Amino acid sequence: MKHKVVISLFVVALLLATVGVAAAAPAEALRTDTVLGDVKSITGAVFTLATKERGDVQIQTTDRTRFRAKDDANFSLSNLKVGDRVTVQGRWQAAKLQANVVVLIPANLRDKALGQVQSITGSTLAIIKAEGGALNVVTTTETKFHAKGLQNPTLADIKVGDIVVVVGQLNGTTLTASQVGFRTPREKIGPMARGKISAINGGTLTLEQPFGQTLTVTTDANTFVVKRGEDGLQVVKVSDLTVGEGVAVLGLRSSDGKSISAKAIIAGKGEDAGSPTPQLQQPQLPLGQRG
């Protein structure tokens, strides 16, 4: 009975993985869609958009297409330039996105980054991006800050270890921030942890976690371990775990957040959860921007 209760509570508490993005758009679909990208070329009423998720996308404009740009009520196709970043909403027809609305992304909102704060020097945050790599985030007197549960948050509320979503303008390895959303990750201080096993030394596991972090997981004879397989969850031993496996851990975390004494472990495909999607109060961006 005790084991059933532990499993139930444990599974309910697992963190969600990031939401995937569709890899490609259909040639024909009677549905509204939105894409974000940089203008690659313009030929008459058609322009090509270079996007991260879908590659090159052909955009068909008509006399019904509406063009929008901040502080320019007269913005139109004739003002569009190669290199501009735009978001487009429309419907697919004949392998082109028939544009209903084209919105020019302001320069100070062109770029977006998700990362974890490594250090804070004056008004600059040094972060490690979720996909790896360092980035300096420069804040100014114009930067707006957002945090769930905080009224009028400021730079002073951000701590080392916090997860941030930054929107601004990128120049090399420096992002000048227009808006910063942030939170203290529960996985840093709470009883839950997820990651991929990178090393096993007896009853001690080392987990790889997002943002280049590692976590030490200690176990003992009372640690309850289950593995997810084709036949569902099966009770196993710590010695049955393997390097490369994803695991979720429930236990007592150390005060510095770098280790956890495991009470229960669940292993199997997908349990490492990938990069976390922080629950942040994020800035309102132009139509459909996903970064």
pLDDT for 136-171, tens place per residue?
A: 999 999 999 999 889 999 999 999 989 999 999 999
Q: Classify residue 235 by burial, with Cβ atoms within 10 Å: 0-12, 13-18, 19+.
A: exposed
**CATH no. for 35-105:** 2.40.50.140
**For the segment 246-278, what is each residue's pLDDT rounded down to a tens digit?**
999 999 999 888 899 999 999 987 666 554 444
List, by residue range, all CATH 2.40.50.140 domains of the chain. Answer: 35-105, 109-184, 189-267
53-72 average pLDDT score: 94
Residue 71 CB neighbour total at 10 angstroms: 6
Predicted TM-score (pTM) of this structure: 0.58
User: Which 8-state DSSP code applies to residue 79?
Assistant: G
Q: What is the mean pLDDT of the chain?
A: 83
CATH architecture for residues 189-267: Beta Barrel (2.40)
Comparing CA positions, the residue from 200, 209, 224 lying closest to residue 257 is 209
HSE toward the beta carbon, residue 273, CA cutoff 13 A? 22
CATH architecture for residues 109-184: Beta Barrel (2.40)
Residue 160 CB neighbour total at 10 angstroms: 11
State yes or no: pLDDT of 285 exceeds 90.
no
